[in-house]
Structure 1
Amino acid sequence: MLEDGFHDVPAGKLAMIVTYLEMTSKTDTRDVPLPAGLTFRRVAADITWYRDIFTRVGGLDWLWYGRLVLKDDALDAILSDPQVEIYTLSRDGQDLALMELDFRKEGACELAYFGLTSDLIGTGSGRWLMNKAVELAWAKPIERFHLRTCTIDSPQALDFYKRSGFTPVKRSVEIADDPRVLGVLPDSAGPMVPLLRP
């Protein structure tokens, strides 16, 4: 059991509070239009495309690292699994969003990754894309739609998920290697989290 109080986090590590959220029946969504100039599509993602969009959506601003530390074969196994669906929003030929639905556990869908590049923040694209996520997830025979977010992600993320119909159900503390120390992300990534090298 974790004792109350402060706990040192070693240099070279990140510490974050992870909140687990779920939706156990399809929520009503507020209809919003897809902003002009954007198109929505499912992607048959390869490793190069995926790492690029993953880094642009979450790595540089929010220190997303989970998929960046995977070996090529491990990442390819996820991307090529027919139970994993990857979508994006594009404008003028450039992909600007990542939505990943993972149906690999029977009866459930995990919103594994969801985010927009800074170009789309504040345009209504996030609400439109979340509505699409809810629609696609519940089009399958699931009983639970779930996700995780953490305290180093966008400060708006948790409230956005709650407004989208997800309910917080659990919290945990995660400690992991800082991806900047690992060389997976540049030192300038995640400016809101101080970089402490060992």
Structure 2
Amino acid sequence: MSETFSISLNGVTDLPPGKLAAIVTSLEMRAAPPLRPDPPGTGGFSLEQIGAADTARYLSIYRVLGERWMWFSRLVKPAAHSEAILADAAVLCFVVRFDGRDVGLLELDFRVAGEGELAFFGLEESVLGKGAGRWLMNRALELAWARPISRFWVHTCTLDHQSAPEFYQRSGFEAFKRSIEVVDDPRLAGHLPRAAAPHHPVIDG
């Protein structure tokens, strides 16, 4: 059941107990951009496509990558929900492999005709600074624009890494919409540990 409350459009609004709020920025591109060169030293990265049979692996890497940034949408629903998404032929999901380990996640959603969504894009902290972000974005753009789409889009929010909007814009996306998302704090229900996303401290109701 949805809940509503009034929000001031010019000022500060207190949230109800147990709630989190984030500013969501949506970005899009309407044509394939020129790819920036893969950074030197990224030859050791590879993509491995996964499907419904890999749901447990998917949720494990999702949790590892997303805990710091409050990824929770797949954790608050039964595993069968993620399994059904991974089984959909219109969804492409890959783990990033490096040095024999799963270090990243790329999920592309083509379930809306004519467009693709960069649904999840994340890398383990251990590979940041090695050019992995640019390498992975290049792969995402190649995979997306190989499909018959006229729009590729992504959304990020203030729970994500602060550099995410700038990175997406450097990759060819343009911001087109800003929204406010209000959700139950997933840490209070145990979907994420209380120590997750320490830059957004837990406030008990």
Q: Classify the TM-score, shorter chain.
A: over 0.9
- The residue number in structure 2 matching 1:8 is 14
The residue type equivalent to 1:71 in the other structure is P
- The residue number in structure 2 matching 1:40 is 47
- The residue number in structure 1 matching 2:89 is 82
Mapped to 2, the partners of 1:62 and 1:11 lie a distance apart of 21
- The residue number in structure 2 matching 1:174 is 181
Matched, 1:25 2:26: no
Mapped to 1, the partners of 2:46 and 2:36 lie a distance apart of 19
Tell me the CA shift for residue 75 of structure 1: 1.7
Mapped to 1, the partners of 2:143 and 2:19 lie a distance apart of 36
From 102, 108, 114, the equivalent of 2:115 is: 108
Identical residues among aligned pairs (%):
46
Tell me the CA shift for residue 191 of structure 1: 0.6
Q: TM-score, normalised by structure 2?
A: 0.92
Deviations along 1:9-32, whole A, 9 cap, x unmatched?
Answer: 122111000000001000011111
Residue pairs, 1:48-63, within 5 angstroms: 48-58=56-66, 60-63=67-70
- Give 5+ residue unaligned stretches, structure 2: 1-6
After superposition, the CA RMSD in angstroms is: 1.4
Residue pairs, 1:84-99, within 5 angstroms: 84-99=91-106
Decide which moves more: 4-13 or 133-142: 4-13
- Give 5+ residue unaligned stretches, structure 1: none
- The residue number in structure 1 matching 2:3 is none
Decide which moves more: 89-98 or 36-45: 36-45
The residue type equivalent to 1:53 in the other structure is I
Tell me the CA shift for residue 93 of structure 1: 2.6
Mapped to 1, the partners of 2:37 and 2:60 lie a distance apart of 30
Mapped to 1, the partners of 2:83 and 2:47 lie a distance apart of 23
